[in-house]
Amino acid sequence: MSYALITGASKGIGKAIAEELAQRNCNLLLVARSESLLQQMATELSVKYSIQTNFLAIDLSNHSAPDQINNWITEKGFAVNILVNNAGYGLSGLFETYTANEYRDMMQVNMYAPVTLTNLLIPELKKHPKSYILNIVSSAAYQAVPGLTVYAATKSFMLSFSRGLQYELRKSNIAVTAVSPGGTATDFGNRANLGDKAVKAGEKLNMTAGAVARIAVDAMFARKTETITGFINKLGAALVWLLPKKLAEKTAAGIYNID
């Protein structure tokens, strides 16, 4: 019996991916900070879709979290053939607004945890006929974003990491897929402290978490290397590539009220 492990599974895109995989008869290991939300979700999905579920409440900003997750998997004897690195968050505003420790915690969740989990779980993933690594990135990965400077940099890192790893594993049983959503109706804006202007701009183009999850899971099972969700986001990434970088950065800075 194999499982899909999903980080950041209690809310937003992670929760929607969990439901999407449950609909496809995948057993689930749910990881997030809130034990109560995870317990409720695990019970609901298990009953609704007749699958096996389990969960672990843990804060991925803790440096030891990936090792604790791997130890939990090993001790429980879970066979994992899908790893979904979804957990992540942003911090908006001028770079100097936040402390080095606050950035360290965000970088820990957005980069260190997924890279470490991937490293720890590749031996397990190689045991199965077909295995998958799905990294939820962001359309912010395709340019510098003043006002979300460090967050965008973490997502650029994850996109590059995903593509490089996919090439390394191209002859193996493991497929690596990077999915980059744009604006999505989740709690991201509140956690990132986005201003009203950025929130209103995003609301006009927001996709639902469910729509993003379907695209992401379809891309994963199709073993695609990279997918951007939504036509507008694909167009935006193309324009960023074509236009002068300073123009793209000035446009982004205007959205996030960076003079």
Strands of 226-228's sheet, edge to edge? 53-57, 27-32, 2-7, 79-85, 131-136, 174-180, 226-228
Nearest to 219 by CA among 114, 158, 135: 135
Strand bridging mode 27-32 / 2-7:
parallel
Task: Please list the active-site residues.
Answer: 151
Tokens linked to 196? 């009203």
Q: Give the Cα separation of 238 and 72 in Å (integer).
A: 42
Q: Give the Cα separation of 32 and 11 in Å (integer).
A: 9
Range list of β-strands (E), the chain: 2-7, 27-32, 53-57, 79-85, 131-136, 174-180, 226-228
Nearest to 28 by CA among 43, 37, 13: 43
